[in-house]
Amino acid sequence: MRAIVDQEFAAERARYALRHACEDCVFFVDETGRCANGYPNAMHRDAAFMVGAPVDGTFCKDFELR
């Protein structure tokens, strides 16, 4: 699912401490920055959910909170 990343989303993300990006997932390999399941993850990384990011933020169906 694609996210509409705007100021409202950024404010809600901060207010509710939302965790949804690769960096918060058990399948994220810190050493390589890759997904342990082999999925491409540029659109799932935290940077993709910043206002004005060059890549659209997309929620991953395999996300599992650390």
Residue 31 confidence (pLDDT) above 90: yes
The amino acid occupying position 55 is V
Burial, 28: exposed, middle or buried (Cβ in 10 Å; 0-12, 13-18, 19+)? Answer: buried
Instruction: Please report the pLDDT score of residue 56 as a whole number.
Output: 85
What residues does each domain of the chain span? 1-66
pTM of the model: 0.86
pLDDT 10s digits, 44-55: 999 999 999 988
Task: Name the one residue in this structure whose structure tokens are 């509409």.
Answer: 4
Contacts of 13 (CB under 8 A, 6+ apart): 49
Q: Which two tokens stand for residue 31?
A: 């050493």
> In this structure, what token pair is assigned to residue 8?
């409202």
Q: How much is the pLDDT for 3?
A: 84
Average pLDDT for 20-48: 97
